[in-house]
C-alpha cells in the first residue's frame, strides 16, 4: 500500500527557495526598517554618538549671544532707517522720508567726494608702501628684526593718540615739526590742516604711517611661502630685485594682495577718526575733510536725527556690498590663474 506524501513536493520546494518571500521584497523595505526614514534615524543616532548634541549645546550660547549683540542692532538699525526717532519721543513710521532727506542734503555730495578722494589717495599712496617695505625687509639679513619692530611700532600706538600726535606735527605755526623742517631749507610755514588742498593728503600720510605696520607683517608672512627656487632661478637669469618683484613676488602673492586691497578699500571708505580729530565735526577747513561717517555722526549726535543716520548707514552698507561683489567678480580670473 502506497503511503501518501505529507511534506511539500519537489516543485513546491524549488518554488519556495527560488522566489523571495514577501517579507524580503524590495517594495516592502519601508515595513522592515530599510527605507529612508530608517536611514535618517540611523544617521541621527550616529550624529548623537559622535557628540553632535554636545557640540550644538556648546555652540548655541555663542550663536545666541552673537546674534543678539551683532545681528540684533543691525536689524534694529534697518528699522530705524524708516522711522523718525531722536531717542526721546516715541518713534514714528515715515517710510522712505529719511532716505529722501539724506539724498537731498547739500553736504552729501561733498562728503562723498571727500571720501572717494581719500580712498583714491590711500590706495595709490598707502597701498604700495607696505608691500615695498616688506620686500625691502625680506632682503635684509642682519637688521631684519630691528626693522620689524620699527615698522610695527606705530600699530601699537592708539589711533586717537597717533592722530593727536600728528596734529601737533602739522601745526600751522612755525613751531610745528614739519614747518621747522621747512624752515631749515629756507621755506616759510605752511598751513597743512588749514589748506583745502593739503588737508586730505596730510591725513592720508598719517593713516599710512599708522596702519602700514600691520600690513607689512602680513606681507612678510606671505613672502615666506614663496619658493626660494623661483628666486634662485630668477637670479641665474640675471634678474634684479625689481624684475624678481614683478615676475616672481607679485604673481606668487596675488591672492593676499587681492584680499588686502579689498579690505583697504572697505576701510578707507569708512574713515572717521583722523578727519574728525584733524578737522572737527564740521570737516574743517571748509568741509574739505568731511567724510560719510562724519555725516552719520553729525546726523546722530549733533542733530539727534538717528533715522537719517541709520538711513545713510544702510546706503553706505549697500554701496560697500556692491563694490565688494563687483571687485570679486572682476578679479576672479586673475586670482584663479
Q: Where are the domains of the chain?
A: 101-336
* Confidence at residue 227, expressed as pLDDT on a 0 to 100 scale: 87
Q: Whole-angstrom Cα distance, residue 119 to residue 121?
A: 6
* Confidence at residue 26, expressed as pLDDT on a 0 to 100 scale: 44
* Confidence at residue 337, expressed as pLDDT on a 0 to 100 scale: 59
Looking at domain 101-336, which of 3.30.930.10, 1.10.3720.10, 1.10.1050.10, 3.90.1150.10 is its CATH number? Answer: 1.10.3720.10
Cβ-contact 312, 300 below 8 angstroms: no
> In sequence order, which residues have a C-beta less than 8 Å from that of residue 169 and are 6 or more positions away?
176, 177, 178
Q: Whole-angstrom Cα distance, residue 264 to residue 204?
A: 13
> In sequence order, which residues have a C-beta less than 8 Å from that of residue 311 and are 6 or more positions away?
81, 98, 99, 101, 102
Can you say whether residue 286 is alpha, beta or left, with left for phi > 0 and alpha for psi between -120 and 50 degrees? left
* Confidence at residue 311, expressed as pLDDT on a 0 to 100 scale: 95
Contacts of range 307-311, beta carbons closer than 8 Å, 24 or more positions apart: 307/80, 307/81, 307/82, 307/83, 307/84, 307/85, 307/91, 307/94, 307/98, 308/98, 308/101, 308/102, 310/77, 310/78, 310/80, 310/81, 310/98, 311/81, 311/98, 311/99, 311/101, 311/102
Q: How many CB atoms lie within 10 A of CB 170?
A: 23
* Confidence at residue 291, expressed as pLDDT on a 0 to 100 scale: 97
Q: Whole-angstrom Cα distance, residue 148 to residue 211?
A: 14
Q: Whole-angstrom Cα distance, residue 310 to residue 81?
A: 5
Q: How many CB atoms lie within 10 A of CB 166?
A: 23
Question: Cα(first)–Cα(last) distance of the chain, in Å?
Answer: 94
- Phi first, then psi: give them for residue 134, nearest 5 degrees: -65, -45
Instruction: Give the global pTM.
Output: 0.79
SS in 3 state form for 102-156? HHCCCCHHHHHHHHHHHHHHHHHHHCHHHHHHHHHHHHCCCCHHHHHHHHHHHHH
Cβ-contact 275, 294 below 8 angstroms: yes
* Confidence at residue 279, expressed as pLDDT on a 0 to 100 scale: 93
Dihedral of the alpha carbons of 157, 159, 164, 166, in degrees to the nearest 10: 70
Helices (H), the chain: 10-18, 29-32, 36-49, 52-66, 72-80, 97-103, 108-121, 128-139, 144-156, 159-169, 177-184, 199-223, 228-236, 241-244, 250-252, 254-268, 273-279, 292-297, 306-336
Helix (H, G, I), strand (E, B) or coil at 192: coil
CA angle 281, 286, 289 (to 5 degrees): 55
* Confidence at residue 52, expressed as pLDDT on a 0 to 100 scale: 62
Q: Whole-angstrom Cα distance, residue 335 to residue 313?
A: 31
* Confidence at residue 5, expressed as pLDDT on a 0 to 100 scale: 43
**What sign for the dihedral angle of Cα 321, 219, 271, 205?**
negative
Q: pLDDT tens track of the chain, all 337 residues?
A: 344 444 444 444 444 444 444 444 444 444 444 457 777 777 766 655 666 677 777 788 888 888 888 888 888 888 999 999 877 888 899 999 999 999 999 999 999 999 999 999 999 988 999 999 998 888 776 777 888 888 899 999 999 999 999 999 999 988 899 999 999 998 889 999 999 999 999 999 999 999 999 999 999 989 888 888 888 888 888 888 888 888 888 888 988 999 999 999 999 999 999 999 999 999 999 999 999 999 999 999 999 999 999 999 999 999 999 999 999 998 887 666 5
Q: Which residue has the cell 616672481?
A: 248
* Confidence at residue 135, expressed as pLDDT on a 0 to 100 scale: 87
Amino acid at each position: 500500500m502506497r503511503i501518501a506524501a505529507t511534506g511539500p513536493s519537489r516543485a513546491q520546494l524549488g518554488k519556495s527557495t527560488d522566489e523571495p518571500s514577501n517579507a524580503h521584497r524590495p517594495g516592502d523595505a519601508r515595513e522592515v526598517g530599510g527605507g529612508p526614514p530608517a536611514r535618517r534615524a540611523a544617521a541621527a543616532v550616529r550624529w548623537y554618538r559622535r557628540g553632535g548634541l554636545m557640540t550644538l549645546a556648546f555652540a548655541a550660547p555663542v550663536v545666541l549671544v552673537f546674534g543678539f549683540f551683532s545681528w540684533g542692532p543691525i536689524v534694529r538699525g534697518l528699522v530705524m532707517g524708516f522711522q523718525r526717532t531722536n531717542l526721546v519721543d516715541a518713534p514714528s513710521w515715515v517710510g522712505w522720508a529719511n532716505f529722501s532727506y539724506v539724498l537731498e542734503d547739500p553736504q552729501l555730495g561733498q562728503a562723498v567726494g571727500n571720501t572717494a578722494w581719500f580712498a583714491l589717495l590711500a590706495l595709490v599712496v598707502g597701498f604700495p608702501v607696505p608691500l615695498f617695505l616688506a620686500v625691502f625687509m625680506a632682503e635684509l639679513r642682519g637688521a631684519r628684526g630691528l626693522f620689524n619692530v620699527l615698522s610695527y611700532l606705530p600699530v601699537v600706538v592708539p589711533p586717537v593718540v597717533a592722530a593727536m600726535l600728528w596734529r601737533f606735527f602739522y601745526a600751522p605755526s612755525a613751531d610745528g615739526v614739519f614747518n621747522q623742517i621747512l624752515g631749515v631749507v629756507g621755506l616759510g610755514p605752511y598751513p597743512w590742516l588749514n589748506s583745502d588742498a593739503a588737508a586730505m593728503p596730510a591725513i592720508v600720510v598719517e593713516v599710512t604711517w599708522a596702519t602700514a605696520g600691520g600690513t607689512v607683517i602680513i606681507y612678510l608672512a606671505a613672502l615666506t611661502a614663496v619658493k626660494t627656487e623661483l628666486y634662485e632661478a630668477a637670479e641665474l637669469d640675471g634678474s634684479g630685485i625689481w624684475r624678481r618683484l614683478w615676475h616672481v613676488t607679485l604673481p606668487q602673492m596675488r591672492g593676499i594682495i587681492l584680499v588686502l586691497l579689498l579690505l583697504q578699500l572697505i576701510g578707507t571708505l569708512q574713515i572717521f577718526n583722523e578727519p574728525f580729530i584733524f578737522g572737527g565735526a564740521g570737516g574743517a577747513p571748509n568741509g574739505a575733510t568731511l567724510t560719510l561717517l562724519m555725516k552719520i555722526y553729525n546726523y546722530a549726535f549733533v542733530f539727534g536725527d538717528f533715522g537719517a543716520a541709520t538711513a545713510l548707514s544702510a546706503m553706505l552698507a549697500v554701496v560697500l556690498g556692491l563694490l565688494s561683489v563687483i571687485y570679486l567678480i572682476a578679479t576672479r580670473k586673475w586670482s584663479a590663474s
